[in-house]
Amino acid sequence: MSKNSAPNNNVFYRNQNWRYPKIVKAEGIYLFDDKGNRYIDGCSGSVVANIGHANKEVAAYTKELMERISFTHLSRWTVDEIEKTAKKIAEYAPGDLNHVYFLSGGSEATETAIKMARQYFVERDGVSSKWKIISKWNSYHGNTLGALSMTGLSSRRKIYDNYLINFPKIDQFYHYRNKWNLEDKVESSIKAAEELEQEIKRHGAENIAAFISEPVVGSAAPGVYPEKIYFDMVRDICNKYDILLIIDEVMSGFGRTGEIFAVNHYDLIPDILVAAKGMSAGYTPIGCTIANDEIFNTIMVNGSGHFIHGHTYAGNPLSCGIALKVMEITERENYVENAKKQGNYLMEKLQSLYKYECIGDIRGKGLMIGIEFVQNQKTKEPFSKEINFKTLLMEACFKEGLIVYPGGGSVDGNLGDHILLAPPLSVSKEEIDVIFEKLEIGIKSVNDKLFR
Ligand code: PLP
């Protein structure tokens, strides 16, 4: 007797016990399966489909581009589409983040940031002992081994621990569960930032190359963000100890939070900014690692002139062209502004959900909103693993035709249930109303089962 369902095709899926509906068509915020069911994509896949699904303009452009040119390798050739896309991204990025290194996704992009930081110090100083990257618990930076070494999610790391680089980790800015029991978010943000300086001192600044942080936390503790003071302090600490600041905008970048990049909420200029997902809104796999002038010039102009790195599909003209088209549409349709407007509207509506006992914390920026669920609102006690709240809720919403992004482990790496709400940035007010209605039905049904 096997433990899980028998395979019914040749795909090595992520979960053998999930019955995968077969999607045959998509449009805007909707997905349609082969049984005629319609689903609202309330999380844009995995916070990717920023301009909505099956955009005809992107499809027509892709056909035209593909008929003209499909692949060149960035070691030999350049193409207009590659240069124009880099220029556009450099215009969007703050400060002197002017140099765009293309990749095929988020994990590749965060791993690239590690190597970029390391090579910068070696080229600058000749020999350098700086190599460690400080990251955080309750963070996600990707699943490849370098990215996973920075990721602070025990459940994802556990069985691969032998392969991982032992990077230092500090606690996340996580006001709702701040260990100092501070009421004031400014104070908990200050305490969280102070931990960076303490960790640098513990390891010695001469051994630290960079600190990496998400500006608004994604899947690990969705929607969690600090007060501005946190990033003011972090920027100063990094400068003081000659440590690069890497900001991971793989999820938050390209408009998701109501700003083109979430660093704008804090007037923050990192040394390296990493993005992916919304960069092409899912129309092609692409990501990027953006370096500032200092890093680029040290390696490429005044140094060896070669970044010792590279991937076959990095900087292919097709993906670059499609990403540029997506940016053009995002700009023309004011989707970043819409993310702010609809995000505020949804956040306002969500406040009424606190009447359900299971609601712990609702937080986020723009259309990147997290809801954390608890057994007890007063004590913040999480649900036990056996209850599997996040799956119950995901299934209840699924029944209503709403897809939400479930996750867990934010309390101690194991316990804690949350969902991420992140519909396409093209979502309308009326569609937000429907999303809310379906979400409330899902939450109420699980809440009633557990508390009545
Ligand atoms: N960084 C962040 C903040 C992410 O949210 C993700 C993916 O969810 C990644 C990195 C990894 O990106 P990818 O799944 O494209 O490898």
Atom of ligand 1 minimally distant from the CA of 218: 5
Query: Is 158 exposed, middle or buried (CB count within 10 Å of its CB: 0-12, 13-18, 19+)?
Result: exposed
Query: Is 88 exposed, middle or buried (CB count within 10 Å of its CB: 0-12, 13-18, 19+)?
Result: middle
Asked if residue 211 has pLDDT above 80, the reply is: yes
**The dihedral formed by the CA atoms of 238, 241, 244 and 249, expressed in degrees to the nearest 10:** -20
- Residue 70: the pLDDT is 93
pLDDT > 90: percent of the chain:
97
Q: How many CA atoms are closer than 13 Å to the CA of 254, on its beta-carbon side?
A: 32
Asked if residue 452 has pLDDT above 90, the reply is: no
- Residue 2: the pLDDT is 87
Cα dihedral sign for 376, 380, 384, 388?
Answer: positive
**Measured between alpha carbons, how far is 213 from 229 in angstroms, rounded to an integer?**
15
- Residue 446: the pLDDT is 98
- Residue 173: the pLDDT is 97
pLDDT (tens digit, 9 = 90+) per residue, 158-203? 999 999 999 999 999 999 999 999 999 999 999 999 999 999 999 9
Name the residue of 110, 263, 311, 405 to mutate for ligand 1: max ligand atoms within 8 A of Cβ.
110
Distance 106 CA to ligand 1 centre (A): 5
Please answer whether residues 258 and 74 qualify as being in contact, where contact means their C-beta atoms are separated by less than 8 angstroms: no
Name the residue of 43, 44, 136, 277 to mutate for ligand 1: max ligand atoms within 8 A of Cβ.
277
Confidence of residue 18 (pLDDT cuts 50, 70, 90): confident
Calculate the average pLDDT of the chain.
Answer: 97
Helix H or strand E segment including 90: helix 80-92
Candidates 25, 111, 47; CA nearest to 251 is 47
- Residue 314: the pLDDT is 96
| C-beta 285 within 6 A of ligand 1 | no
DSSP 104-142: SSHHHHHHHHHHHHHHHHHHHHSS----EEEEESS----
Distance 215 CA to ligand 1 centre (A): 13
Distance 337 CA to ligand 1 centre (A): 24
Distance 103 CA to ligand 1 centre (A): 13
Q: Check residue 281 and give left, alpha or beta (phi > 0: left; psi -120 to 50: alpha).
A: left
The pLDDT of 344-363, averaged and rounded, is: 98
pLDDT (tens digit, 9 = 90+) per residue, 215-236? 999 999 999 999 999 999 999 9
Distance 327 CA to ligand 1 centre (A): 19
Q: Check residue 107 and give left, alpha or beta (phi > 0: left; psi -120 to 50: alpha).
A: alpha
Asked if residue 1 has pLDDT above 80, the reply is: no
The pLDDT of 119-142, averaged and rounded, is: 98
Asked if residue 327 has pLDDT above 80, the reply is: yes
Please answer whether residues 229 and 263 qualify as being in contact, where contact means their C-beta atoms are separated by less than 8 angstroms: no
Residue nearest to atom 12 of ligand 1 (CA): 106
Cα dihedral sign for 303, 309, 313, 314?
Answer: negative
Please answer whether residues 156 and 148 qualify as being in contact, where contact means their C-beta atoms are separated by less than 8 angstroms: yes
Q: Which amino acid is at 133?
A: I
| C-beta 142 within 6 A of ligand 1 | yes
CB neighbour burial string for 213-250, b if at least 16 within 10 angstroms, e if fewer:
bbbbbbbbbbbbbbbebbbbbbbebbeebebbbbbbbb
Atom of ligand 1 minimally distant from the CA of 108: 16
pLDDT (tens digit, 9 = 90+) per residue, 94-116? 999 999 999 999 999 999 999 99
Candidates 180, 173, 123, 113; CA nearest to 149 is 113
pLDDT (tens digit, 9 = 90+) per residue, 262-313? 999 999 999 999 999 999 999 999 999 999 999 999 999 999 999 999 999 9
Atom of ligand 1 minimally distant from the CA of 142: 11
Q: Which two tokens mark 12?
A: 């090595």
